[in-house]
Amino acid sequence: MLFFSYFKDLVGREVTVELKNDLAIRGTLHSVDQYLNIKLENTRVVDQDKYPHMLSVRNCFIRGSVVRYVQLPPDGVDVELLHDATRREARGG
Amino acid sequence: MLCKNIAVNPSCQGFSDSGVQEVFPLCTETISVITNDGRNIVGILKGFDQATNIILDESHERVYSTKEGVQQLVLGLYIIRGDNISIVGELDEELDSSLDLSNLRAHPLKPVIH
């Protein structure tokens, strides 16, 4: 639940999602759900010459199960806050 | 059971208690699906459910290769199991018609490795 809330706070920010098939897609985070499925707007594939498969796609839904990394904006994470929250959750509070 | 639960046009919605509905593009759109084995299937979204199972109508597969342009194979009405889906993209028809697929060459996408 913690990371679901965390990603919800990132809505509207620019992120790069790297998939488990090595495709990397950059776009504005539109929404996230409980499975960490991600919807991006104004998407572009990072290496379009190598991967022209999504040239005519501007909005897309990415299944949470195929996400390898989400690259965040540099100021997108408050490490202290996240540390505290993960410790609280680990304690079961 | 699947037929009873899966949402079908014209109402075309997922479960109301599901997050999938919130993040899913609207129905009757032309969408481009990339599957876990690297295939690209384009068709009209007719329905989906909370497991991302998808019904596509008038669908075709776009086969990419480095030796020749993109081949389009007609598939018709298709159900794709959610397990096997990586990306669902909303196809911008204007952008799509401006592409010269017959001259587009690329390696096929790699399969997803979990």
pLDDT tens per residue, range B8-58? 544 455 544 455 655 565 677 899 999 999 999 999 999 999 999 999 999
Name every residue whose Cβ is closer than 8 Å to that of residue A87 and which is 6 or more positions away in sequence.
none
Give the dihedral sign, CA B82/B23/B56/B96.
negative
Looking at residue A92, its pLDDT comes to 85
Eight-state DSSP code of residue B66: S
- Find the CATH number of the domain harbouring A30: 2.30.30.100
Q: What is the mean pLDDT of residues B66-92?
A: 96
> Chain A window 18-57: which residues touch B at a Cβ cutoff of 8 Å?
19-23, 25, 30-35, 37-39, 43, 50-57
**Which pLDDT score, from 0 to 100, does residue B34 have?**
98
pLDDT at res. A49: 95
The answer to whether residue A62 neighbours chain B at the CB level (below 8 Å) is yes
The number of domains in chain A is: 1
Buried b (16+ CB within 10 A) or exposed e, A71-80: ebeeeeeeee
The rounded distance, in Å, linking the Cα atoms of B72 and A42 is 26
Which candidate from B23, B40, B93 shows the least CB-CB separation from A53? B40
Average pLDDT, chain B: 85
Q: Please report the pLDDT score of residue A13 as a whole number.
A: 96
Q: Residue A21 has which token pair?
A: 């098939």
- Give residue A77's pLDDT: 87
The domain limits of chain B are 3-92
Using the beta-carbon criterion (under 8 Å), do A21 and B52 form an inter-chain contact? Answer: no
May I ask the CATH architecture of the domain B3-92? Roll (2.30)
d(CA A76, nearest CA chain B) in Å: 21
Residues of the domain holding A22 = 2-91
